[in-house]
């Protein structure tokens, strides 16, 4: 899991589908992301001190994607066009920004009792997307201050570019604006999103009870001061009347008693255990999951807690026992690889990541972990395998700076300075650092065959202009 949890927890968890490249140069969407990302240079120094961050975790992202895709399809959205980001925050919140980008706090996942609750939240946020409710932010721009607008837009751009920490920090820097104007909805819009959510759930044969139970958890906060409320309450106006309307419609649904697949419930418990293990202090984790609890999630959480102490030997011992019982769980192998790599045992880590990759061959975060471990062995014979692995990762997920940084290292180790320069340029571009990206792109162009695909990619980056604010 990673904290933008590679704790492997870079935490990248869900595989990110490959996107089609444009017929000429850089894809239009990626070019737009890169142009937005370069705005970071304006205010990044001021915002870096803020601690809000994104989590990348293959297991968590994949789980959210799997349970949400049916809703996206029912809403008429292309699931591959909807991006879900995990915010490392204990509060309950979820919101949509920048088009089809859904942000969910870890607290929302940790406090969910069933997958249906999370699905209900995702369906509600999808209702805001299909209802065009984000267009009201244009009205907010007219009355907001320029610094607040810039901070908000820069944050979104940074998130698109892969600079998770900076992006969330920038958004948080204009927190009042984001919560009260850009990210807040009227009661009419909330009711509309509720009804849309229930429509989507019925089309997929799922119950709306999870959405009701989620709102029930928040209803009592309406009377609290804003400081004591979860952010979701501040941006999504709640009322007992609204909940009653939901309850009434759910009671009439033919799917009101539909249950989540058993597999989804089991996966939710594992994801919650992982999040608690990585986010909470080990002592808290051991209290939540005592040794007397021999369930799979409890064993997983304790292994992560031992890793955090750090007690590497005990953590590896716990993961070996889990893998012996559940050899087909790719994420168990992945986390074992992370433990071993971070304790300086790169060769063993590579074996663990390779086992995970065999089970999930197209998971970009697992591929990045494997490539990093192979490079970490220091064996020349492993460099070409690492380079090929990292090339696969960057083909699947094009906006992950870490993957390009490691790929540049692999090219450099092979003596391919031209491709190392291009990968470094892509790393900086994905992170929103335009001056460095352009510098390395020009260097790559001098060494690459003119007109080649690699040269054209470098040329695209070198031609990006810094937007005027």
Domain positions in the chain are 11-252, 281-462
Give the pLDDT confidence of 102-127 residue by residue, as tens digits: 999 999 999 999 999 999 999 999 99
> Is the pLDDT at 191 greater than 70, yes or no?
yes
The average confidence (pLDDT) of the chain is: 82
Q: 101 - beta bridge partners? A: 83, 97
End-to-end distance of the chain based on CA atoms, in angstroms? 36
Over residues 49-67, mean pLDDT: 83
pLDDT at residue 305, rounded to an integer = 99
Over residues 428-440, mean pLDDT: 93
**Distance between CA atoms of residues 402 and 394, nearest Å:** 10
**Which of 54, 65, 82 is closest to 159 using CA atoms?**
54
Highest mean pLDDT pick, 145-154, 179-188, 301-310, 397-406: 301-310
pLDDT band, very low/low/confident/very high, at 226 (cuts 50, 70, 90)? low
Continuous segment of H or E residues that includes residue 83: strand 83-87
> Is the pLDDT at 37 greater than 50, yes or no?
no
Tell me if 331 sits within 8 A of 300, measured CB to CB: no
In percent, the amount of the chain with pLDDT more than 70 equals 73
> Is the pLDDT at 327 greater than 50, yes or no?
yes
Give the pLDDT confidence of 337-393 residue by residue, as tens digits: 999 999 999 999 999 999 999 999 999 999 999 999 999 999 999 999 999 999 999
For the chain, what percentages of helix, strand and coil (3-state, to nearest 5) are there?
Answer: 70, 5, 30
Q: Which residue has the higher pLDDT, 36 or 91?
A: 91
pLDDT at residue 84, rounded to an integer = 92
CATH fold, domain 281-462, is: 1.25.40
Q: What letters, b where the CB count within 10 A reaches 16 and e where it falls short, cover 209-221?
A: bbbbebbebbeeb
pLDDT band, very low/low/confident/very high, at 220 (cuts 50, 70, 90)? low
Tell me if 434 sits within 8 A of 464, measured CB to CB: yes
> Is the pLDDT at 224 greater than 50, yes or no?
no
Q: Which residue has the higher pLDDT, 143 or 466?
A: 466
Q: Which residue has the higher pLDDT, 59 or 142?
A: 59
Over residues 416-435, mean pLDDT: 95
Over residues 249-267, mean pLDDT: 98
Over residues 174-190, mean pLDDT: 56
Contact partners, residue 131, CB within 8 Å, separation at least 6: 189, 192, 193, 196
In percent, the amount of the chain with pLDDT more than 90 equals 63
> Is the pLDDT at 60 greater than 60, yes or no?
yes
> Is the pLDDT at 43 greater than 90, yes or no?
no
């Amino acid at each position: 899991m990673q904290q933008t949890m590679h704790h492997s927890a870079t935490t990248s968890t869900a595989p990110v589908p490959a996107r089609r490249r444009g017929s000429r140069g850089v894809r239009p969407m990626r070019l737009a992301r890169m142009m937005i990302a370069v705005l970071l240079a304006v205010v990044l120094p001021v915002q870096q001190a803020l601690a809000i961050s994104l989590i990348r975790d293959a297991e968590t992202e994949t789980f959210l994607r799997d349970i949400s895709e049916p809703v996206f399809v029912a809403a008429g959205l292309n699931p591959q066009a909807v991006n879900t980001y995990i915010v490392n925050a204990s509060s309950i919140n979820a919101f949509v920004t920048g088009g089809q980008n859904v942000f969910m706090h870890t607290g929302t996942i940790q406090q969910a009792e069933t997958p249906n609750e999370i699905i209900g939240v995702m369906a509600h946020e999808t209702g805001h997307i299909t209802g065009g409710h984000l267009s009201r932010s244009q009205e907010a721009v007219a009355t907001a201050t320029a610094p607040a607008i810039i901070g908000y837009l820069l944050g979104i751009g940074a998130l698109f570019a892969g600079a998770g920490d900076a992006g969330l920090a920038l958004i948080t820097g204009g927190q009042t604006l984001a919560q009260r104007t850009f990210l807040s909805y009227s009661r009419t819009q909330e009711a509309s999103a509720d009804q849309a959510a229930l429509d989507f759930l019925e089309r997929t044969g799922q119950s709306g009870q999870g959405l009701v139970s989620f709102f029930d958890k928040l209803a009592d906060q309406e009377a609290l001061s804003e400081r004591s409320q979860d952010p979701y309450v501040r941006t999504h106006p709640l009322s007992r009347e609204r909940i009653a309307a939901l309850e009434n419609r759910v009671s009439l649904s033919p799917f009101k008693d539909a249950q989540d697949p058993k597999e989804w419930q089991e996966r939710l418990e594992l994801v919650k255990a992982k999040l608690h293990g990585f986010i909470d202090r080990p002592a808290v984790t051991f209290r939540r999951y005592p040794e007397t609890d021999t369930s799979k999630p409890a064993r997983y959480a304790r292994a992560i807690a031992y890793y955090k102490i750090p007690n590497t030997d005990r953590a590896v011992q716990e993961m070996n026992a889990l893998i012996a019982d559940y050899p087909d769980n790719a994420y168990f192998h992945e986390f074992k690889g992370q433990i071993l790599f971070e304790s300086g045992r790169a060769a063993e880590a590579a074996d663990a990541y390779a086992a995970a990759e065999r089970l999930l061959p197209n998971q970009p975060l697992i591929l990045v972990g494997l490539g990093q471990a192979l490079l970490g062995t220091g064996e020349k014979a492993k460099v070409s395998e690492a380079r090929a692995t990292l090339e696969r990762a960057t083909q699947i997920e094009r906006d992950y700076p870490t993957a390009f940084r490691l790929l540049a290292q692999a090219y450099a180790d092979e003596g391919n300075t031209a491709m190392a320069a291009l990968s470094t340029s892509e790393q900086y571009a994905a992170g929103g650092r335009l001056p460095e990206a352009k510098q390395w792109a020009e260097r790559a162009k001098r060494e690459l065959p003119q007109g080649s695909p690699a040269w054209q990619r470098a040329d695209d980056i070198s031609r990006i202009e810094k937007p005027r604010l």
